[in-house]
Copies of this chain bind each other. A is one copy, B any other.
């Protein structure tokens, strides 16, 4: 009897329905309107029904987060055409920070908000973030190999440069830089990239 398979498929479809409602709420009305009750309303089910398909709200946010990572990973793909690793490093930073500033709520969900992280205990669940992180790591390893970076430990160099970029955009997103007018943000990001390349890189 193949009805078990259909059941499985229906369950999966319902999950997708819930996620798409969550996503559309997120995009149209912002994070704070993504509530179980609003999701349920959107798909015309009761709030309790949502809990038949997802353990809790964090699990749903986690799935949304995943979409964000895919988007970022997609944007990183254009880096492949840049030959010089130093140029590629700069472009990587630019793509990262532009993504953050153009999709602030997504970035917030992916890298700042507490909520979705409660859902995974084990680092194994971090696969999504890992892929995007590995893009940076590969570039840095090449930069070290080719002598653009004098750092010997790529782990540290990678974490430091990621931290720098994350620091910049997360300060902006959470409004901790009143000394920098909003109109200057884009320019500051470029200046930070220039500064970093000038100070960090050898040639």
Contact = CB atoms under 8 A, between A and B. Distances in A.
A171 B166 contact: yes
How many chain copies? 2
A195 B156 contact: yes
Contact of A188 (B117, B156, B177, B192): B156
B166 A170 contact: yes
A203 interface: no
Contacts of A162: 167, 171
Given A167-B164, A170-B166, A191 B114 contact: no
User: Could you say which of A112, A157, A168, A199 has the most chain B C-beta atoms within 10 Å of its C-beta?
Assistant: A199
Contacts of A176: 111, 117, 129, 166
User: Could you say which of A114, A133, A150 has the most chain B C-beta atoms within 10 Å of its C-beta?
Assistant: A114
A44 to B, nearest CB: 31
A191 B123 contact: no
A123 B162 CA distance: 28
Given A117-B174, A167-B166, A196 B160 contact: yes
A137 to B, nearest CB: 10
Given A117-B174, A160-B192, A192-B159, A149 B199 contact: yes
Interface string A141-172: 00000000111010011011011111110110
A170 B150 CA distance: 26
Contacts of A159: 168, 177, 180, 188, 192
A48 interface: no
User: Could you say which of A162, A167, A176, A191 has the most chain B C-beta atoms within 10 Å of its C-beta?
Assistant: A167
8 contacts: A112-B170, A117-B174, A117-B176, A123-B179, A151-B198, A156-B195, A159-B180, A163-B168
When A and B form their complex, which 5 residue pairs have the shortest distance between CB atoms, in order from nearest? A167-B167, A163-B167, A123-B178, A166-B167, A163-B168
